């Protein structure tokens, strides 16, 4: 210290300037001094510092910049620092803490809103500026700044912002996951409660999802679909011009096929008609930084709609429409037929009555008038039959027709019907043969209903049989034990496609206004309804041009003593067993 002519305050420490290079300080070894091997002119007028180092005794000091120097060199550097005013002073701690506080107040808000990349860049810039500034100030102002607190604060602020961003990111990820789970639950619920079957496949046609409705249609479990090709379950019919329908599209989605009706086969073999819609959807990669997909994914969405009820409703509507059309046609035919049937006998009654009233052929005792009276009687009976048929059909349709059953003898009843019909113009021209045996067992039935059925059937047979033709009435006990009352004629016959419709109300084979045969088309309808009330059935066999055979089948339970009647069919079946 005395060599520098400076008397520093020993209570105030200072820092050595290690920017002074030891190699710039000339030195002479102590051995050369003792042996006089140096030039005195080299030290003339210069300050000489005499010191010795014993390296073997550990006279090595660790210092900054140079790592380690000897004690003598350290003394020379300290002397140079004082001599040339390079003694470095340390900044006061309050200033460092104040700088750290200011830095925290300024940078914390920025780091709170910036992403971690920008925060890291700012932290590196502040650290470099701190170190660079400290070095520059120490070089020119011999002041050593304590930058540890500010830089530590900077690093802590960055770490705090990083932790905060991680926390916010974890919260966002959690919310996104919960939203995805919520959407997935909602979509699964919608899919599960949907009445339409839904199946989703990947671009290769492998099933990835199927809802409960689709499983129900195919009668399969979900595991039977997953991973399998959709063509194992659905095979849309290829149509011309649709070869490109299975290619992925550039838009988000497009309809591949809509309302394609086809049949699918359930697991049990049942065939179900469905309406199929196919949508091709494109799933592009998301914008999330965690998205790892780079290619667009294409899926197909199959929607199945069970149309069994719809087809049933359509069939019902079609049947109702046909029925309404038939009813309207029947109404029109009824009006036309009734007007025709009423006008003809009324004209006869009025005309013949006027002739008789005017006595055009002389006094009423003339034989001509007897023919007119006969025609008037026939016309009146025809009108009465028409009205009775209309009333009977009305009662049958309303369900108010009641049977008054008793045991009756069919041969006697048929004979009485033939007696009632004797003398008419039609029966005079057709031969009627009654082949019913008199020993037939009695049947339990309503005599008025059976009489009406027999009269209608014989009347139809006579009406549609040409002159000199024959109508044969017969009865038999069939092998089943049932009784059949048969009316067969040699008339014009009925076409095969008309036999099922001939028993409908107001239906006539010839519906034209110029038809040859009269009637309103209620005879066979009334017969069918009445035999149904007796638990029997009506059988009609006919060949065009050869005649018709109509059978009233009376069940054996209505035959007197049916307990003693054994069905030959049943006995043959028992023998076969």
DSSP readout, 88-117? BEEPPHHHHHHHHHHHHHHHHHHHHHS-HH
Q: Tell me: the pLDDT tens digits for 504-537?
A: 776 665 544 344 555 567 788 888 888 998 999 9
If asked whether residues 54 and 103 sit together in one domain, one would say no
Residues 508 and 553 in one domain: yes
Please tell me whether residues 300 and 419 are part of one structural domain: no
Residues 375-395 have pLDDT tens digits of 676 667 667 777 777 777 777
| Confidence at residue 113, expressed as pLDDT on a 0 to 100 scale | 79
Neighbours of 286 (CB within 10 A): 10
Q: Give 470-523 as a DSSP string.
A: EEEEEEEE-TTS-EEEEEEE-SS---HHHHTTTTSTT--S--STT-SS---S-H
**Do residues 151 and 266 share a domain?**
no
Same structural domain for residues 410 and 509? Answer: yes
| pLDDT attached to residue 555 | 92
Cβ–Cβ < 8 Å for 556, 535: no
Is 97 found in the same domain as 36?
no
Residue 360 placed within a domain:
no
- Tell me: the pLDDT tens digits for 276-291? 888 888 877 767 666 6
pLDDT surpassing 90 at residue 485: yes
Q: Sorting pLDDT into bands at 50, 70 and 90, what band is 336?
A: low
Give the pLDDT confidence score for residue 9 in this predicted structure. Answer: 46
Pair (409, 536) in one structural domain: yes
Residue 206 placed within a domain: yes
The total number of structural domains in the chain stands at 4
- Higher-pLDDT residue of 222 and 43 is 222
Residues 280 and 410 in one domain: no
In 10 A of CB 246, how many CB atoms?
A: 15
Instruction: Kindly state the tokens that stand for 234.
Output: 């659905």
Alpha-carbon dihedral 322, 327, 332, 335, rounded to 10 degrees: 170
pLDDT band at 1 (very low <50, low <70, confident <90, very high): very low
The whole-number pLDDT of residue 566 equals 59
For residues 413 and 561, state if they share a domain: yes
Q: What is the CATH number of the domain that holds 433?
A: 3.30.565.10
Q: What is the structure's pLDDT at 408?
A: 92
Residue 223 lies in a domain: yes
Report the distance separating Cα 28 and Cα 367, nearest Å. Answer: 189
Same structural domain for residues 260 and 149? no
Domain holding 274: CATH number? Answer: 3.30.450.20
Q: Which residue has the tokens 């009465």?
A: 384
Residue 285 lies in a domain: yes
| pLDDT digits 0-9 by tens, 163-196 | 888 888 889 888 988 988 888 888 888 888 888 8
Q: Is 118 part of any domain?
A: yes
**Do 382 and 421 form a contact (C-beta atoms < 8 A)?**
no
Shared domain for 133 and 51, answered yes or no, is no
Task: Check if the beta carbon of residue 419 is closer than 8 Å to that of residue 552.
Answer: no
Provide the residue range defining the domain that includes 170. Answer: 90-176
Domain boundary among 306, 322, 346: 306
pLDDT value, residue 58: 61
Average pLDDT, the chain: 77
Q: Rounded distance, CA 486 to CA 549, Å?
A: 7
The helix/strand count (H/E) of the chain reads as 14, 16
Looking at the structure, do residues 499 and 541 belong to the same domain, yes or no? yes
Buried b (16+ CB within 10 A) or exposed e, 327-352: eeebeebbeebeeebeeebeebbeeb
Instruction: Let me know if residue 296 belongs to a domain.
Output: yes
Which pLDDT score is estimated for 377? 66
Mean pLDDT of the 245-274 span? 63
């Amino acid at each position: 210290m005395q060599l520098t002519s400076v008397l520093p305050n020993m209570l105030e420490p200072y820092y050595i300037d290690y920017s002074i290079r030891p190699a710039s300080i000339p030195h002479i070894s102590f051995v050369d001094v003792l042996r006089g091997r140096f030039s005195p002119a080299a030290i003339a007028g210069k300050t000489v510092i005499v010191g010795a180092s014993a390296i073997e005794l550990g006279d090595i000091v660790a210092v900054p910049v140079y790592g380690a120097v000897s004690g003598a060199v350290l003394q020379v550097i300290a002397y140079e620092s004082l001599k040339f005013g390079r003694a470095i002073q340390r900044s006061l701690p309050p200033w460092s803490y104040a700088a750290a506080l200011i830095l925290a107040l300024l940078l914390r808000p920025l780091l709170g809103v910036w992403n971690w990349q920008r925060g890291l860049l700012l932290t590196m810039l502040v650290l470099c500026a701190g170190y660079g500034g400290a070095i520059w100030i120490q070089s020119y102002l011999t002041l050593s700044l304590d930058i540890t607190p500010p830089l530590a604060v900077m690093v802590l602020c960055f770490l705090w912002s990083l932790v905060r961003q991680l926390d916010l990111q974890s919260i966002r990820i959690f919310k996104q996951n919960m939203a995805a789970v919520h959407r997935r639950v909602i979509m699964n619920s919608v899919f599960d409660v949907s009445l339409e079957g839904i199946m989703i496949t990947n671009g290769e046609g492998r099933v990835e999802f199927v809802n409960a409705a689709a499983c129900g249609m195919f009668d399969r479990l979900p595991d039977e679909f997953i991973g399998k090709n959709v063509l194992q379950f659905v095979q849309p019919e290829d149509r011309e011009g649709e070869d490109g329908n299975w290619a992925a599209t550039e838009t988000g989605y497009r309809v591949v096929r809509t309302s394609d009706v086809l049949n699918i086969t359930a697991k049990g073999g049942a065939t179900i008609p469905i309406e199929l819609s196919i949508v091709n959807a494109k799933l592009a990669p998301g914008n999330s930084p965690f998205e790892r997909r780079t290619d667009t994914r294409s899926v197909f969405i199959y929607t199945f709609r069970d149309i069994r009820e719809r087809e049933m409703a359509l069939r019902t509507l079609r049947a109702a429409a046909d029925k309404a059309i038939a009813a309207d046609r029947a109404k029109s035919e009824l009006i036309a037929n009734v007007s025709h049937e009423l006008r003809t006998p009324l004209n006869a009654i009025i005309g013949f009555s006027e002739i008789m009233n005017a006595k055009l052929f002389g006094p009423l005792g003339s034989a001509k008038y007897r023919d007119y009276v006969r025609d008037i009687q026939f016309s009146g009976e025809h009108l009465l039959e028409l009205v009775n048929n209309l009333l009977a059909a009305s009662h049958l349709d309303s369900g108010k027709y009641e049977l008054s059953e008793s045991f009756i003898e069919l041969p006697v009843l048929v004979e009485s019907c033939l007696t009632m019909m004797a003398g008419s113009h039609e029966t005079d021209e057709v031969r009627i043969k009654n082949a019913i045996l008199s020993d037939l067992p009695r049947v339990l039935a309503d005599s008025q209903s059976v009489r009406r059925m027999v009269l209608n059937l014989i009347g139809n047979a006579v009406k549609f049989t040409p002159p000199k033709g024959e109508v044969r009435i017969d009865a038999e006990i069939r092998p089943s034990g049932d009784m059949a009352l048969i009316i067969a004629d040699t008339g014009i016959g009925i076409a095969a496609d008309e036999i099922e419709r001939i028993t409908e109300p107001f239906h006539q084979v010839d519906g034209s206004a110029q038809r040859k045969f009269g009637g309103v088309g209620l005879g066979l309808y009334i017969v069918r309804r009445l035999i149904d009330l007796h638990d029997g059935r009506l059988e009609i066999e006919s060949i065009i041009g050869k005649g018709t055979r109509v059978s009233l089948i009376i069940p054996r339970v209505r035959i007197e003593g049916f307990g003693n009647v054994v069905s030959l069919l049943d006995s043959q079946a028992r023998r076969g067993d």
